[in-house]
Structure 1
């Protein structure tokens, strides 16, 4: 969860499960008793029942098209037939994702699209055959049919037995009246027959039916868990494709962050040091003109210009420190974080437990993360003390900033910590914020541990 200082402090939230919490409803009937009549169970049962005819149709289509295509590979027709079969499996996969989303509540993203370098039937055919999603859809068609047969048999048997036995007291009279027997026959041969026909046996039968009925939702749910795994694993995007999408998103975040930093630097230069240097040049020009006429006035103007030079140098030094502080490059995180902690408005205790330095990029992100968090503490937290801890755990660099402020931050986005989370995510990092109402606030940043690569040539 990512939260931001300055928003939500002092707000009182209703705890989960509270009767007054919006969107939650208290049930007097236990979940185990109301499960057989809940809509979710009936949707899952419907999914299992529909899986049998759909899987038979999909299996028949897939096996027929692949077998026909493989048999025709000796001719020019085999490849198009095989490509058409795989394309049809992809189409069935899309329908299966829609069915899983509607009945199981399983939202699976579409697999990676076909990558075609050029247009045309030949390019499309090659893209279908090269796509891993096409072959995963074919594998789904082959594997899902035997599982659908098993799941259908188990679900129908358990459901029908449960409800028929549970309602046995309501319809047992049908057997002696129309079937010519006293009740449900448990055993029978030429000499002995055992029927469920007395009140005690009918009651026990109904109780056994109740147990089956109560167990049916959980059995059906267990069966659909396998369907969830099949749909998610074979009809969704591959791990590699998902990782590529994440990297593309992270690259965009890095580019946006770099562009924002460049705009900030340009604005600071334009509004700060550049403006002072322009004024300094004008003052020195005026002092040059007055040097012969009024040396004292010229000396006074030069003295003022000297003060402007000092101010401009200080602003340039601060700007350079904001880009990448020299103390971080020269002495590492311990000295750099101690320096930034000394500028915080509250006392900050810094503890850095590192035996070696990480890569400069990771080190810089850790530094700026702590710097922005301490700025947030100075501006919003109303704290009296804070701590900064940095340590290494296996291949991860851990950074934790804690304060005893008012806490209570409970938002999922914003401009401050949301930007930090994006910057950390760009390097496979994580930002976790724990800020209950009344404090304390603890922000933990987790970064990958990378060492500097030395390139020799």
Structure 2
């Protein structure tokens, strides 16, 4: 990564001067809002100051990573859409309080460092100081900024352990629910038909000598019951791992789903191989759930599914032009998708304003292996 020029560093310092004044205002608003939380005014102040603080912090985080030549991810936890839940989530996020401490630093000592960097350029006498000491001062300022604004390795490990604990518990619950579903499907379908088959064959055996015609009718009924039981078993097997997924891969399986939709579905895929089988299955069932929701609720005229593999992640975008208003937290289907993907460190994001359109983005980190066996794109 190319080191920023001195003029660019000075421009950063000038921006930090302006943002430092805003940091002072935000610090006052945040403290005042926290003190007034007993009345509604406090919540209103925090609803203004916290998002603005994160915008300002993001700007400083980008400048600091450019100065130091680092890559630092945005460290904030997801914020729910419900106002009260969002307030609780923000209050529980350690970065909220680190941002507040950073505001104090940014509008005091950090602001002084930025001011010195700018003034040294403007005076002829101090120009040599600007030339020789600008980089060390800006690097020091950036390191302190990231000490506040980026999670440490220990914190990242703690967060990782927390995420793994939660996803493991969700995976266990999901597996238990799936076993119960399979038990119900087997009990209500194939088992019931096999019991009926056994009874029909028993009666046919008793009637074979006395009433051969009735016995033949019972055997015919038994043959029909056998065909129905086989069909039920195939349905159960498809619910575990669809044969089309094993035979044609993720692209072909999603195209098969698209063909079964009453709404026109276009599938565009750019996958240079196949994900691991468990990931492939999880993504397939996630897409199937998205399409089922489109068929039930969206009243859409067209659906587009785009599948890519970028930066070590399989990314699937499901877009429909329906009425929108989808709430991923309202039903068990999308919650199940989120749990299924979370077991592989995957994520699901939903954008569905009232009036539409709806866009669901599924992402799962994985490597691809073996060449694809189906065309990479095709209309549904």
Normalising by structure 1, we get a TM-score of: 0.50
CA distance in 2, matches of 1:397, 1:293: 66
Secondary structure of 2:353's aligned partner: coil
Q: Is the counterpart of residue 108 in structure 1 residue 106 in structure 2?
A: no
1:425 aligns to 2:330 (yes or no):
no
The CA distance in 2 between the partners of 1:394 and 1:415, in whole Å, is 30
| Stretch of structure 1 that moved more, 334-343 or 289-298 | 334-343
Deviations 1:318-351 (A, max 9, x none): 1101100112112211221122222223232222
| Paired residue total | 256
> In the aligned structure 2, how far is the partner of 1:416 from the partner of 1:333?
20
Q: 1:250 to 1:299 in 2, by over 3 A?
A: same
User: For 2:282 and 2:93, how far apart are their aligned partners in 1?
Assistant: 34
Q: Are the structure 2 counterparts of residues 365 and 233 from structure 1 closer, same or farther at C-alpha, using a change threshold of 3 Å?
A: closer
Higher RCO (CA < 8 A, seq sep 6+): 1
| 2:271 aligns with one of 344, 349, 354 | 354
* Contact preservation (8 Å) 2:273, 2:369: no
CA RMSD of aligned residues (A): 3.7
In structure 1, what is the Cα distance between the partners aligned to 2:236 and 2:26?
Answer: 66
CA distance in 1, matches of 2:288, 2:294: 10
Contact 2:348 2:360 in 1 (8 A): yes
How far apart in 1 are the matches of 2:291 and 2:247?
Answer: 22
2: distance between equivalents of 1:409 and 1:276?
39
Alignment match, 1:439: 356
Shift of 1:275: 0.7
Mapping of residues 238-277 of structure 1, within 5 Å: 238-277=155-194
Which string of whole-angstrom CA distances, capped at 9 and with x for unpartnered residues, describes residues 141-187 of structure 1?
xxx9xx8xx86xx8xxxxxxxxxxxxxxxxxxxxxxxxxxxxxxxxx
Where does the alignment leave 5 or more consecutive residues of structure 1 unmatched? 1-30, 45-103, 110-143, 155-222
Matched, 1:333 2:250: yes
> Aligned partners of 1:347 and 1:304: how far apart in 2?
40
CA distance change for structure 1 residues 39 and 396 in 2, over 3 Å: closer, same or farther? Answer: closer
The equivalent position to 1:365 in structure 2, one of 282, 297, 304, is 282
Aligned-pair CA distance for 1:352: 2.3
In structure 2, the residue matched to 1:416 is 333
Give the deviation of 1:363 after TM superposition.
0.8
Structure 1 residue 388 displacement after superposition: 1.9
User: What residue is the counterpart of 2:374 in the other structure?
Assistant: none
Q: Secondary structure at the match of 1:401?
A: strand
Q: Is the 8 A contact 2:318 2:361 kept in 1?
A: yes
Tell me, in whole angstroms, the C-alpha distance in 1 between the residues paired with 2:347 and 2:151.
25
- Number of the residue aligned with 1:51: none
TM normalised by structure 2 equals 0.59
Counterpart Cα distance in 2 of 1:370 and 1:231: 36
> Residues 36 and 293 from structure 1, CA distance in 2 versus in 1: closer, same or farther, beyond 3 angstroms?
closer
- Consecutive aligned runs of 4 or more in structure 1 exceeding 4 Å deviation: 34-39, 41-44, 104-107, 225-234, 410-413
* Structure 1 position 379, deviation (Å): 1.4
Between the aligned partners of 1:276 and 1:416, the Cα distance in structure 2 is 29
The answer to whether the aligner puts 1:395 opposite 2:312 as a matched pair is: yes
State the distance in 2 between where 1:35 and 1:378 align: 50
Aligned CA distance change for structure 1 residues 43 and 267 (closer, same or farther; 3 Å):
closer
